[in-house]
Structures are given as C-alpha cells and as structure tokens.
Amino acid sequence: MKILAIQGSPRDEGNTQTVLDVVLTSAKAAGADIEVIHVFNLRDLTGCMECFSCQRTSDGPGCPLDDDMQELFVQALRADVVVWATPVFCWTVAWPLKMVMDRFYCLFKFESADQYRCLLEGKKMAAVITAGGGEKDGADLVDETLRRMAHFSRSRSYASFIAAHVQSPESILADQNLLKRAEAFGRELVG
Ligand SMILES: Cc1cc2nc3c(=O)[nH]c(=O)nc-3n(C[C@H](O)[C@H](O)[C@H](O)COP(=O)(O)O)c2cc1C
C-alpha cells in the first residue's frame, strides 16, 4: 500500500510535521510505502489559473502549468492513500495546501456541474490537522473541508486526526496520550 502525504505547513519541522512523522512511522511499521511531499519546499509552484485547459484531457491531469505540481499529480495518481496534513491557519487549511487542492481541479473531468469523473476515485483519503486552539477554533472547519474534498473525489473512505491545543514539537513528543492516538491512526490507515 502506497501512502502519499501532502504536508502543507510552511514549517518543515513544526507541529504538523511532528505529528505526521508519528502517524507515518506507525503506518510504515504496519507495512505501508510512504512518500511525503512538503509543499512549501516545492520551489516552482503556482495556483490554479482557471484556464480550464485540463478539461480537454480525459485520461490524465492535462494541466498546462509546467511546474512541480506535475510530479505531484503522478504521485497522487499512483497512491492508494492520500493524506492531507495541515495546520489550521485562520479557520482553514494553510495556504500551500490550498494551492495544491485547487490544482487538483484538473483531476476532475466535468461533463456538467454535477456530472463528472474523478481520477482519484476509489482511493482512501485522510487528514492530519494541528491547531493552536481547540477543535472548534477552526480544526473542525478544516476537517469538514477535507472531508468534502474526499467525498467529492469519490474516495473510498475519509478519516482525520486532529491534534488540538498543540504548542511545539517538543510538547507534542512529550504527550504520551497524543502519541498513542497518532500511532493508532497510522495503523488504521493501513488496515
Ligand atoms: C497565520 C496563523 C493562523 C492561525 N490560525 C489558527 C486558527 O484559526 N485556529 C487555530 O486553532 N490555530 C491557529 N493557528 C495555530 C496553528 O494552527 C498551530 O500553531 C499549528 O500547530 C502550527 O503548525 P505548524 O508548526 O506545522 O505550522 C494559526 C497559526 C498561524 C501562524
């Protein structure tokens, strides 16, 4: 089983990466192949330009923007599980992740507003969300956004892991209860 984690925090050693590492280490121990893309480190990345050229290609992304997203499309298409990882930024996903989500538009092929195919159909999707506040201070909205992304992608399933009230990587690694829950979540991704 191939898991692709798309890590959307600007920090590559921050809270989200720390929680994600625990989840993925556990998934790897349960037998998964892991790929992690830290979106902020993709140097050549732009947002969806809404040109709709992608809609002229039915069997592939068809996005004309020649940047680092092209490789990410390939990785997502060959994954069995796509994990969206993000901190809560102002009640929504962090901006690097939002760029990727918008660019995934090209993986949907629309015939009309409600008739479409999704090239990601049948995959599992999951979310790892970290928040400085409580679950109702935005993590709930991020969870709902990613749940809808999974539903619209016709994913086989969606599961989320929310680490609320987190302060630092050090305090995360000292929280035995959080670590146990994150490890269990990693095993569930493989099951
Ligand atoms: C610009 C910004 C906006 C934030 N907005 C929220 C928010 O709306 N709700 C919340 O619970 N935490 C919010 N936070 C806190 C982060 O979600 C939290 O610190 C997160 O764990 C950071 O993860 P990272 O270290 O991976 O970037 C915000 C932090 C920043 C920097």
138-157 pLDDT, tens digit per residue, is 999 999 999 999 999 999 99
Does 165 contact ligand 1 (Cβ within 6 A)?
Answer: no
Give the three-class secondary structure for 82: strand
Q: How far apart are the CA of 87 and the centre of ligand 1, in A? A: 5
Ligand 1 centroid to Cα of residue 16, in Å, is 10
The confidence score (pLDDT) of residue 94 equals: 98
pLDDT at 1: 97
> pTM of the entire structure?
0.98
Asked if the model's pLDDT at residue 66 lies above 90, the reply is: yes
> Would you state the pLDDT for residue 5?
98
Res. 167 pLDDT band, cuts 50 70 90: very high
- Tell me, in angstroms, the distance from the centre of ligand 1 to residue 9's CA: 9
Token digits of residue 15: 């809270």
Pocket test for ligand 1, best of 13, 89, 161 (most atoms within 8 A of CB): 89
Distance 132 CA to ligand 1 centre (A): 5
How close is the Cα of 1 to the center of ligand 1, in Å?
Answer: 31
Residue 160 and residue 129 in contact, taking contact as beta carbons nearer than 8 Å: yes
Which is the closest atom of ligand 1 to the Cα of 88?
Answer: 17
What percent of the chain has a predicted confidence (pLDDT) above 70? 100
Residue 187 beta carbon below 6 angstroms from any ligand 1 atom: no
Q: Is 90 left (phi over 0), alpha (psi -120 to 50) or beta?
A: left
pLDDT of residue 114: 78
Cβ-in-10-Å burial (0-12, 13-18, 19+) of 78 comes to exposed
Q: How confident is the model at residue 191 (pLDDT cuts 50, 70, 90)?
A: confident
Residue 81 has pLDDT above 80, yes or no: yes
* Distance separating alpha carbons of residues 24 and 35, to the nearest angstrom: 9
**Tens of pLDDT along 10-41?**
999 999 999 999 999 999 999 999 999 999 99
pLDDT level of residue 113 (50, 70, 90 thresholds): confident
Closest atom, ligand 1, to C-alpha of 131: 17
CATH of region 2-190: 3.40.50.360
E strands in 63-123 = 81-89, 92-93, 108-110, 116-118
Mean pLDDT, residues 168-175 = 98
In this model, does residue 100 exceed pLDDT 80? yes
